[in-house]
Amino acid sequence: MTDSFVLRAGLRYTDDEKDFVAERLQSPLAFLGVGPLAPVRVNTDDTDVSWDISGVWSASETVNYYARVARGFRAPAIQGRVLFGDVVSVADSETVLSFEAGVKADLFDRRARLGFNIFHYTVDDQQLTAVGGTQNFNTLVNADKSTGQGFEIDLEAYLSENLLITAGLSYNDTEIDDANLAIAPCAAPCTVLDPAGPVEGTVLIDGNQLPMAPEWIGNLTARYSIPLQSGELYIYTDWVYRGEVNFLLYESAEFQGDSLVEGGLRVGYLWEDERYEIAGFVRNILDEEEIVGGIDFNNLTGFVNEQRIYGVEFRANF
């Protein structure tokens, strides 16, 4: 548009059609009298027009401001595993309208780089997966609406000629907005925190955050190098923080993860123009142990992060 302002726009037409068939020849629950399942056929089709428009303004040689508005589309989805259940579930199409604005800047004679943005999005008819519950299979559902908003900030800087740091922080506020959406909670006894649904054995999930979407995420790295006549000696450390997280669509005391901090350290030596490297490392240096996910079928199952790991590594590029 001008020497300092660039406008971009895009348009996409989608025509999606799926033909699906599922059949069970033998059931793992045959001992309970569950037999084969005749072919179940599902057909879906939908069309959509998606678009986006964005602008970048170069305020100076080192500072850019940008903004973007976009509409996205996901075609109908099919969950067709009929190993334990007889139902093939289908989720209708979803659409998203997202807004983002931010700034990117080089600082201190380009020894540092900063990025910051804020965002908001609304998903209509979002496709979600109800995991397990009273039956040992997943079911696709549509939420009337879900929203998310927050900010992200990233920094990369040389504090000295040999010391590079990077840091990132994000806040993500997500919410399911559907007063009538009810799903089955855990099949094994658990402490459900959501109100009871209209059908016995279900709970309402309106107002819950999206699964695996912690509000706060942070990371930090630092690398210090010592040039030598024959190569380079370096020390590198990286750290990550994840806030509390809900694993499933419904909320329960058992299927939640507390905040988690993990860090690593690596000391290495590079030589011959970085063709060769030898290094020692440790992961999860604090030996933190926290549940990072759960499996909700007919039991209470959680899995944890990796334990502390030590190692030595040699690398050669030819």
| Residue 39, domain CATH | 2.40.170.20
pLDDT of 85 reads: 81
Is residue 135 over pLDDT 70? no
pLDDT score recorded for residue 137? 77
Nearest CA to 223 out of 270, 292, 177 is that of 270
- pLDDT, residue 282, reads 98
Mean pLDDT of the chain: 94
C-alpha to C-alpha distance for 224 and 228, rounded to whole angstroms: 13
pLDDT value of position 183: 92
CA distance 318 to 129: 46
- How far is 285 from 166, CA to CA, in rounded Å? 19
In sequence order, what are the residues at sequence separation of 6 or more whose Cβ sits closer than 8 angstroms to the Cβ of residue 316?
275, 276, 277
Number of structural domains found in the chain:
1
Cβ atoms of residues 169 and 116 within 8 Å: no
**SS3 track for 156-203:** EEECCCCEEEEEEEEEEEEEEECCCCEECCCCCCCCECCCECCCCCCE
Which pLDDT value is given to residue 61?
94
pLDDT in tens, 163-204: 999 999 999 999 999 999 999 888 777 899 999 999 988 999
How does residue 83 score in pLDDT terms, banded at 50, 70 and 90?
A: confident
State phi, psi for 207 to the nearest 5 degrees. 90, -10
Residue 103 has pLDDT above 80, yes or no: yes
What is the pLDDT, as a whole number, of residue 74? 97
pLDDT at residue 243 in the model? 97
Contact 76, 92 (CB under 8 A): yes
Radius of gyration of the chain (CA): 25
Q: Rounded mean pLDDT of 237-255?
A: 95
Grade residue 279 by pLDDT with cuts at 50, 70 and 90.
very high
Contact 94, 127 (CB under 8 A): yes
How is residue 299 written in tokens?
A: 């039991």
pLDDT in tens, 34-55: 889 999 999 999 999 999 999 9
pLDDT of residue 301: 85
What the block records as the tokens of 71 is: 């509409």
Assess contact for 148 and 99: CB atoms under 8 A.
no
Domain that holds residue 177: 5-316
- Work out the average pLDDT over 119-148: 90
**Distance between CA atoms of residues 266 and 259, nearest Å:** 24
Main-chain dihedrals φ then ψ at residue 30, nearest 5 degrees: -60, -30
Pairwise CA distance, residues 26 & 74, whole Å = 33
pLDDT at residue number 308: 97
**Stretch among 72-76, 185-189, 208-212 having the lowest mean pLDDT:** 185-189
Type of residue found at 301: T
> What six digits make up the tokens of 100?
């983002």
Return d(Cα 276, Cα 192) in angstroms, integer: 54
> What integer pLDDT is reported at residue 186 of this predicted model?
86
